[in-house]
Chains A and B, each alone.
Chain A
Amino acid sequence: MDRKVMTDRELYRRSIEYRIRLLRYIRMANAGHTGGSLSCVDILNVLYNRILNVTPENFSDPHRDRYVQSKGHSVEALYVVLADKGFFPESELETLCRYESHYVGHPTRKINGIEQNTGALGHGLAFSVGVALSAKMDGAAYKVYTLLGDGELAEGSNWESMLTAAHYNLDNLTAIIDRNNLQITGRTEDVCSLEPLADKFEAFGWSVRTIDGHDITAITDVLSAVPFNVGKPGMVIANTVKGKGISFMENDHKWHHGVPDDEQYDQAQRELDALLAEQES
Chain B
Amino acid sequence: MTFAAGRELGKANLDVFSETLLSLAIENRNVLAVTSDSRGSGKLMPFAANLPDRLIEVGIAEQNLVGVAAGLASTGKIVYAVSPASFLSARALEQIKNDVCYSDRPVKLIGISAGVSYGALGSTHHATHDLAALRAIQNISIVAPADNFETAEAIQAAAQMASPVYIRFGKRPMYHLHGPQAEFVIGKSMIVREGTDVTFIATGETVYHALMAAEAMEADGLSCRVISMHTVKPLDIEAVLLAASETRAIVTVEEHSICGGLGEACAGVLMQAGLSVPFKIVGLPDEYTVTGSQVEIFEHYGISAEGLARTARELLSQ
Nearest Cβ distance between residue B56 and chain A, in whole angstroms? 7
Q: A117-B102, A126-B95, A127-B99 are in contact. Are A134 and B75 (CB under 8 A)?
A: yes
Determine if B71 and A117 form an interchain contact, defined as CB atoms under 8 angstroms apart.
Answer: no
The interface residues of chain A, by DSSP majority, are classed as helix
Complex CA–CA separation, A265 to B71 (angstroms): 39
Determine if B99 and A164 form an interchain contact, defined as CB atoms under 8 angstroms apart.
Answer: no
Nearest Cβ distance between residue A121 and chain B, in whole angstroms? 10
Determine if B71 and A134 form an interchain contact, defined as CB atoms under 8 angstroms apart.
Answer: yes
Determine if B103 and A126 form an interchain contact, defined as CB atoms under 8 angstroms apart.
Answer: no
Nearest Cβ distance between residue B101 and chain A, in whole angstroms? 9
Give the contact stretch, choosing among A74-82, A155-163, A197-205, A209-217. Answer: A155-163
Counted as pairs of residues, one from A and one from B, with CB atoms less than 8 Å apart, the total is 94
Q: Which of A118, A128, A160, A163 makes the CB contact (< 8 A) with B71?
A: A128
Nearest Cβ distance between residue A104 and chain B, in whole angstroms? 11
Q: A62-B76, A126-B68, A157-B64 are in contact. Are A163 and B59 (CB under 8 A)?
A: yes
Complex CA–CA separation, A129 to B74 (angstroms): 11
A120 interface residue (CB < 8 Å to B): yes
Nearest Cβ distance between residue B132 and chain A, in whole angstroms? 21
| B136-157 interface with A by 8 A CB criterion | none
Complex CA–CA separation, A157 to B59 (angstroms): 12
Contacts of A128 in B (CB 8 A): 71
Determine if A116 and B104 form an interchain contact, defined as CB atoms under 8 angstroms apart.
Answer: no
Determine if A123 and B67 form an interchain contact, defined as CB atoms under 8 angstroms apart.
Answer: yes
Complex CA–CA separation, A237 to B68 (angstroms): 23
Complex CA–CA separation, A235 to B59 (angstroms): 22
For chain A, the bracket of interface size reads 20 to 34
Q: Chain B: how many interface residues by the 8 Å CB criterion?
A: 26
Determine if A130 and B72 form an interchain contact, defined as CB atoms under 8 angstroms apart.
Answer: yes
B77 interface residue (CB < 8 Å to A): yes
Complex CA–CA separation, A115 to B64 (angstroms): 18
A137 interface residue (CB < 8 Å to B): yes
Complex CA–CA separation, A132 to B74 (angstroms): 11
Determine if A126 and B64 form an interchain contact, defined as CB atoms under 8 angstroms apart.
Answer: yes
Determine if A116 and B63 form an interchain contact, defined as CB atoms under 8 angstroms apart.
Answer: no
Contacts of A156 in B (CB 8 A): 63
B303 interface residue (CB < 8 Å to A): no
Smallest Cβ-Cβ distance to B79: which chain A residue: A130
A135 interface residue (CB < 8 Å to B): yes
Q: A109-B104, A117-B98, A133-B56 are in contact. Are A126 and B75 (CB under 8 A)?
A: no
8 contacts between A and B (CB under 8 A): A126-B63, A126-B99, A127-B68, A129-B68, A134-B71, A137-B53, A160-B58, A164-B59
Q: Contacts A128-B71, A157-B64, A160-B63 known; list 15 others, CB within 8 Å.
A: A62-B76, A116-B99, A117-B99, A118-B98, A120-B98, A126-B66, A126-B70, A126-B95, A127-B99, A130-B67, A131-B74, A133-B72, A134-B74, A160-B59, A163-B61
- When A and B form their complex, which 10 residue pairs have the shortest distance between CB atoms, in order from nearest? A130-B71, A126-B67, A160-B64, A160-B61, A134-B75, A130-B68, A127-B71, A157-B63, A117-B103, A130-B72
* Chain A interface residues toward B at CB < 8 A: 62, 108-109, 115-120, 122-123, 125-135, 137-138, 156-157, 160-161, 163-164, 167
